[in-house]
Structure 1
Amino acid sequence: MAPIKLMERFTQLYGKHVKSTQKAPILSSSTAVALSIVFTLIYIVPFYLSSATRPSPQLSRDAPSSIRARVRAVTFSSLASLALTIYVLYQSAGVKPNEILKLLGLWPFSLLDTARTLLLVNILFAGPLFEAGIVDGGWKDWVRGRYVQEVLSSWIGYRNFVVGPVSEELIWRSLIIPLHILAHFSGKKIIFLTPLYFGIAHVHHFYEFRLTHPHSPVLQGILRSAFQFTYTSLFGFFAAFVYLRTGNLLSIILAHSFCNWMGLPRFWGRVGVEAGVPIGPPDLDKKRNEDSSYRSGELIYHSKPIAWTVVYYAILVAGAVGFYYQLFPLTESSYSLPVVLGDA
Structure 2
Amino acid sequence: MAPIKTWADRFSALGKLYEKHLKGAQKPPAISPNTAAALSVIFTFIYVVPFYLSPATRPSRQLSRDAPSSIRARIRAVTFSCVISTALTVLILHQYGNASPREVLKMFGVWPISFLDTARTLLLVIILFAGPLFEFAIVDGGLKHWIRGTHIQEVLRSWIGYRNFVVGPVSEELIWRALIIPLHILAKFSGKQIIFLTPLYFGIAHVHHLYEFRLTHPHTPVALAILRSLFQFTYTSLFGFFAAFVFLRTGNLLSIILAHSFCNFMGLPRFWGRVGVEAGVPIGPPDADKRNDENVDCARAKSVAWTAAYYVLLVVGAVGFYLQLFPLTESSYALPVVLTEE
Which bracket does the TM-score occupy, shorter chain normalised? Answer: 0.7 to 0.9
**1:241 paired residue among 239, 245, 248:** 245
What is the match of residue 264 of structure 1?
268
Q: CA deviation at 1:77?
A: 0.5
**1:316 paired residue among 314, 317, 335:** 314
Paired AA for residue 307 in structure 2: T
Provide the C-alpha distance between the structure 1 equivalents of 2:287 and 2:340, rounded to a whole number of angstroms.
63
Q: CA deviation at 1:280?
A: 7.1
Q: CA deviation at 1:80?
A: 0.8
What is the match of residue 112 of structure 1?
116
Paired AA for residue 207 in structure 1: Y
Going from structure 1 to structure 2, the CA distance change for 1:35 and 1:23 (only over 3 Å counts) comes to same
Provide the C-alpha distance between the structure 2 equivalents of 1:342 and 1:248, rounded to a whole number of angstroms.
19
Q: Is the 8 A contact 1:104 1:178 kept in 2?
A: yes
What is the match of residue 304 of structure 2?
306
- Deviation >4 Å, runs of 4+: 276-282, 340-343
Provide the C-alpha distance between the structure 2 equivalents of 1:175 and 1:188, rounded to a whole number of angstroms.
17
Paired AA for residue 218 in structure 2: P
Instruction: Calculate the TM-score normalised by the size of structure 1.
Output: 0.85
What is the match of residue 62 of structure 1?
66
Instruction: Calculate the TM-score normalised by the size of structure 2.
Output: 0.85
What is the match of residue 152 of structure 1?
156
Q: CA deviation at 1:30?
A: 1.0
What is the match of residue 200 of structure 2?
196
Going from structure 1 to structure 2, the CA distance change for 1:92 and 1:58 (only over 3 Å counts) comes to same
What is the match of residue 102 of structure 2?
98
What is the match of residue 39 of structure 1?
43
SS in 1 for 2:64: coil
Normalized per residue, the structure richer in helix is 2
SS in 1 for 2:117: helix
SS in 1 for 2:182: helix
CA RMSD of aligned residues (A): 1.9
**1:82 paired residue among 82, 86, 92:** 86
Tell me the matched-pair count.
304
What is the match of residue 5 of structure 1?
none
Q: Is the 8 A contact 2:275 2:303 kept in 1?
A: no
Q: CA deviation at 1:279?
A: 8.6
Q: CA deviation at 1:92?
A: 3.2
Going from structure 1 to structure 2, the CA distance change for 1:313 and 1:327 (only over 3 Å counts) comes to same
Q: Is the 8 A contact 1:128 1:265 kept in 2?
A: yes
Paired AA for residue 133 in structure 1: A
Q: CA deviation at 1:220?
A: 1.3
Unaligned runs of 5+ in 1: 1-20, 283-301
Q: How big is each residue's C-alpha offset from its partner over 1:113-133, in whole Å with a ceiling of 9 and x where there is no partner?
A: 000000000000000000100
- Residue 336 in structure 1 maps to residue 334 in structure 2: yes
Paired AA for residue 179 in structure 1: L
Provide the C-alpha distance between the structure 1 equivalents of 2:289 and 2:253, rounded to a whole number of angstroms.
56
Greater RCO, 1 or 2 (C-alpha within 8 Å, sep 6+): 1
Q: How big is each residue's C-alpha offset from its partner over 1:268-312, in whole Å with a ceiling of 9 and x where there is no partner?
A: 111111546489779xxxxxxxxxxxxxxxxxxx76431111111
Provide the C-alpha distance between the structure 2 equivalents of 1:99 and 1:46, rounded to a whole number of angstroms.
31
What is the match of residue 288 of structure 1?
none
Unaligned runs of 5+ in 2: 1-24, 292-298
What is the match of residue 182 of structure 1?
186
What is the match of residue 166 of structure 2?
162
Max radius of gyration: which structure?
2
Q: Is the 8 A contact 1:56 1:212 kept in 2?
A: yes
Q: How big is each residue's C-alpha offset from its partner over 1:199-242, in whole Å with a ceiling of 9 and x where there is no partner?
A: 00000001111111112110111011000000000000000000
Q: Once structures 1 and 2 are overlaid, which stretch shifts more, 23-32 or 224-233?
A: 23-32
Q: CA deviation at 1:161?
A: 0.1
Provide the C-alpha distance between the structure 1 equivalents of 2:218 and 2:65, rounded to a whole number of angstroms.
15
Q: Is the 8 A contact 2:274 2:303 kept in 1?
A: no
Q: How big is each residue's C-alpha offset from its partner over 1:43-72, in whole Å with a ceiling of 9 and x where there is no partner?
A: 000000000000111111111111111011
Q: CA deviation at 1:35?
A: 0.6
Going from structure 1 to structure 2, the CA distance change for 1:22 and 1:331 (only over 3 Å counts) comes to farther
